[in-house]
Amino acid sequence: MTRATIARGAFATALVLFAVAAVYRALEQDVEPAAPAPPSIPPSTAPAAAATYQGFLFGRITTLGGTTYEGRLRWGAGEEAFWGDFFNGSKDENPWVALVPPERLPKESRPVEIFGVRIADNERRIDIDRPFMARFGDIGRIEGRGRDVQVTLKSGTVFHLDRFEASDFDDGVRVWDVRQGVIDLDSLKIRAIELLPTAPLGGAPSRLHGTVRTRRGEFTGFVQWDREECVGSDELDGRTAEGELGVRFDTIRSIERRSPDGSLVTLLDGREIVLSGTRAVGPDNRGIYVDDRRYGRVLISWDAFERIDFSDPGSGGSGPAYGDFPPGRPLTGSVTTRAGRSLAGRLVYDLDESATTETLDARAQGVDYTIPFGLIASIVPAEPDARSAKVILHRGEELRLERSGDVGQSHGGLLVFTSDRERPEYVRWEEVQRIDLDRPPAMYPPLP
């Protein structure tokens, strides 16, 4: 090959990448483009049907000064945007601990070593502080009160969170106000956020939807790339041999991991680009969320990720509406102990979860599962010499989950409120043979 041929090829490649960059440049305000893209790259304009907007967060925000804003919401300006996304925080206290006899609280043993030689074991009580997680669709109101954030669920249950301790409230909120335009509000200026059914929206972006392939299988549903990008107007950033490039997600057909620090991106018109050198397309990627209707939500690590194929822009709609999330009900069922006893009644799992809308969090082969208890039929803890616990869903599917998170050794045990006792009975995790949960009358997500 002559130098002239190589030079012509490099020049042609540069022209293609320049054109791609010009076509895919994202708008800053998270809306659909004002002008249509070229015919080879269809824009993600969606029809004005309820499914195109009902899944977006919507609410009324009141500031400390008394001003109100109402419209579509997105946390942290570029993060949580839909009713199925999670609001996270840290609880001020764990009230369930007071119902456990102090001498029965679970302990863990940690070795004491000197120069690598184990000389003793240090036994201490396990951490009984628990984080707060709730889907926005389960929440009615969020209020800022100094250091305290009060979250009221649809069911009426109230949680008090520390706003300065891993709280999503402190990230601030962007609101597309129907009268005043786009406003970014600092959390310190917010008094209250009342979540409301989503009103008809104009110019809302398409939501990312697709199928992710992993070594554990395939997961299909709404997608958050790198735990953040979730709409078509968000960009995938990376570097090519010719320089930095940002590609709108609504112009991407697929992304495939190709090397330790790079990915092959195939566009809707068939063109291929290799991107590398940034967190979004390499090993520093924080993971891909998929709202798979079978499990609630999964987080796929970069190590487990192989490929994603996106659905056509807008074809998946925007997800469940605010009204599709029924208020949570108390968690009820029965606990069978290894000693053969059976206890039935209201349950508090891991000294924390007590409602059907709360979630069991555990991991398997690089995939983190966040499963609403309303989807779970049974939980069978791992045997002492086994590596995995068994979780059986109401649909009959069986999951083998690693001994971590909500099925791991740091489990706080269960409280069982039986009808014949004033106080609940406490059962340690290592005493549990099996847990069978009652099926609630209504569940999210709606299952076929």
Residue-wise pLDDT for 411-421, tens only, equals 999 999 998 88
Report pLDDT for 393. 97
Using the predicted structure, report yes or no on whether residue 249 has a pLDDT greater than 70: yes
CA–CA distance, 230 with 249 (Å, rounded to integer): 9
Report pLDDT for 255. 97
CA–CA distance, 141 with 150 (Å, rounded to integer): 8
Using the predicted structure, report yes or no on whether residue 96 has a pLDDT greater than 80: yes
Using the predicted structure, report yes or no on whether residue 167 has a pLDDT greater than 60: yes
Smallest CA-to-CA distance from 290 within 342, 339, 230 is with 230
For 355, phi then psi, to 5°, come to -135, 155
Cα of first residue to Cα of last residue in the chain, in angstroms, is 58
Q: How confident is the model at residue 46 (pLDDT cuts 50, 70, 90)?
A: very low
CA–CA distance, 396 with 439 (Å, rounded to integer): 12
For 215, phi then psi, to 5°, come to -70, -15
Q: How confident is the model at residue 410 (pLDDT cuts 50, 70, 90)?
A: confident
The residue-averaged pLDDT of 263-277 equals: 95
Using the predicted structure, report yes or no on whether residue 2 has a pLDDT greater than 50: no
Q: What angle is formed at CA 61 by the lines to CA 26 and CA 174, rounded to 5 degrees?
A: 15
More confident residue, 324 or 13: 324
Residue 326, CB-side half-sphere exposure with 13 Å CA sphere: 14
More confident residue, 442 or 345: 345
Query: Which residue has 């402190």 as its token pair?
Result: 170
Give Cα 329 distance to the centre of its chain.
21
CA–CA distance, 377 with 163 (Å, rounded to integer): 34
Q: How confident is the model at residue 442 (pLDDT cuts 50, 70, 90)?
A: low
Using the predicted structure, report yes or no on whether residue 54 has a pLDDT greater than 80: yes
In eight-state DSSP terms, residue 116 is T
In eight-state DSSP terms, residue 198 is P
Q: In sequence order, what are the beta bridge partners of 162? A: 148
Contact status, residue 328 vs residue 133, Cβ threshold 8 Å: no
| Max mean pLDDT range (32-36, 167-171, 226-230) | 226-230
Using the predicted structure, report yes or no on whether residue 448 has a pLDDT greater than 80: no
Using the predicted structure, report yes or no on whether residue 79 has a pLDDT greater than 90: no
For 446, phi then psi, to 5°, come to -60, 130
**Sheet holding 181-185: strands in order across?**
158-162, 148-153, 139-145, 190-195, 58-63, 68-75, 173-177, 181-185
Lowest mean pLDDT among 22-31, 239-248, 300-309: 22-31
Burial of 431 (0-12, 13-18, 19+ CB in 10 A): middle
Using the predicted structure, report yes or no on whether residue 327 has a pLDDT greater than 60: yes
CA–CA distance, 238 with 243 (Å, rounded to integer): 9
Using the predicted structure, report yes or no on whether residue 14 has a pLDDT greater than 80: no
The residue-averaged pLDDT of 316-326 equals: 93
CA–CA distance, 173 with 154 (Å, rounded to integer): 21
Smallest CA-to-CA distance from 91 within 193, 166, 188, 192 is with 166
Q: How confident is the model at residue 143 (pLDDT cuts 50, 70, 90)?
A: very high
Q: In this structure, how many other beta carbons lie within 10 angstroms of the beta carbon of residue 248? A: 25
Percentage, residues of the chain above pLDDT 70: 83
CA–CA distance, 313 with 181 (Å, rounded to integer): 25
Using the predicted structure, report yes or no on whether residue 146 has a pLDDT greater than 60: yes
Report pLDDT for 102. 85
Amino acid at 233: S
Contact status, residue 390 vs residue 435, Cβ threshold 8 Å: no
Amino acid at 422: E
Query: Which residue has 């997800």 as its token pair?
Result: 319
Give Cα 323 distance to the centre of its chain.
19
Contact status, residue 391 vs residue 296, Cβ threshold 8 Å: no
Instruction: Report residue 339 as tokens.
Output: 């000693």
User: Number of H helices and number of E strands within the chain?
Assistant: 1, 32
Using the predicted structure, report yes or no on whether residue 43 has a pLDDT greater than 50: no
CA–CA distance, 148 with 163 (Å, rounded to integer): 6
Report pLDDT for 128. 74
Lowest mean pLDDT among 58-62, 115-119, 130-134, 262-266: 115-119
CA–CA distance, 163 with 144 (Å, rounded to integer): 8
For 383, phi then psi, to 5°, come to -65, 155
Contact status, residue 432 vs residue 378, Cβ threshold 8 Å: no
Q: How confident is the model at residue 48 (pLDDT cuts 50, 70, 90)?
A: very low
Report pLDDT for 47. 40
Query: Which residue has 């069986």 as its token pair?
Result: 398
Q: How confident is the model at residue 266 (pLDDT cuts 50, 70, 90)?
A: very high
CA–CA distance, 445 with 429 (Å, rounded to integer): 29
Instruction: Report residue 166 as tokens.
Output: 């891993």
CA–CA distance, 53 with 231 (Å, rounded to integer): 12
CA–CA distance, 80 with 86 (Å, rounded to integer): 7
Percentage, residues of the chain above pLDDT 90: 65
Report pLDDT for 51. 67
Smallest CA-to-CA distance from 327 within 153, 196, 198, 193 is with 153
